[in-house]
Amino acid sequence: MSVATTNAIDAVFAELKAKGETAIIPFLTMGDPDLETSVSLVQAAEAAGAHMIELGVPYSDPLADGPVIQRASERALRHSVSLADCMSVAAKARERGVGMPFILFTYFNPVLQFGLDRFFEQLKANDFSGVIIPDLPLEEDEETRQKAEAAGIHLIPLVAPTSDARVERIAARARGFVYCVSSLGVTGVRSEFYSGIDKFLATVRGAANVPICVGFGISSREQVEQLSSSCDGVIVGSAIVRKVEEALPLLTATEAGKRREGLEAVQAFIAGLKPRS
């Protein structure tokens, strides 16, 4: 049974399914190198062909993130980037014409400190469609789930190959999509995925009423094409954040031309991830 909703994430997946396309979902760490550049990078991602985007909240203890995203978080936290600041990037990007759905990626402690009611009020006010909280387990998410559904925000679950018997329970309750972890460990670029990924994705597919997307370790068009036949969307995080890191001298330059060159480098990398038609 499908979930009846007007959420923008559902609309995008329905459109892509009709066209036989796979969603490209970039991840960016907000505030790296600064909030204004984050707004420009979101614009660049959509111009590159992204269908929706994860906006990552920098956090001092990012258990799921590898060294690339940890370094990006450290850079952002030097400027005291807050949860509210990250939400404001979405609102500013929307003001500048970005139309794709926004998904906030954050750990649970900042949400608790912010306050659950205020958190979902602000997600809705800043036009977010979904939220991913990787350290909020299924067994403890009831209150958060209820508030998310009341606000019309999809609480998107992660499921890993090691989730074992919990895979079907997590997938069956998912909203928006199921975030399938392609590899064991933390985020980061990899040359190979978990050896049993095909069976794992088939199990999730069989249990889920929503699209399934794959993330962790994806960094190239070839990998996106490899996974496209068995999922509905691909999430690329560390590889894009690393590209931002490489472009920092340009993105932080005082000359507008150099900043534009840095944005174009990131945009070209994201565009290069799209499968060949």
Q: How many CB atoms lie within 10 A of CB 14?
A: 11
Query: Does the annotation mark 54 as catalytic?
Result: yes
* Cα–Cα distance, 105 to 205 (Å, whole number): 23
Which residue intervals of 104-255 are DSSP H helices?
108-114, 116-125, 142-151, 166-172, 197-207, 221-228, 238-246, 248-251
Task: Compute CA distances 210 → 16, 114, 118, whole Å.
Answer: 13, 29, 27
Contact 18, 228 (CB under 8 A): no
- State both tokens at 185: 């460990």
**Is the backbone peptide bond immediately before 33 cis, with ω within 30 degrees of 0?**
yes
Of 10, 32, 46, 65, the active-site residue reads 65
* Cα–Cα distance, 28 to 57 (Å, whole number): 9
Of 32, 54, 232, 245, the active-site residue reads 54
Q: Which residue has the tokens 């960094």?
A: 219
Active site residues: 54, 65
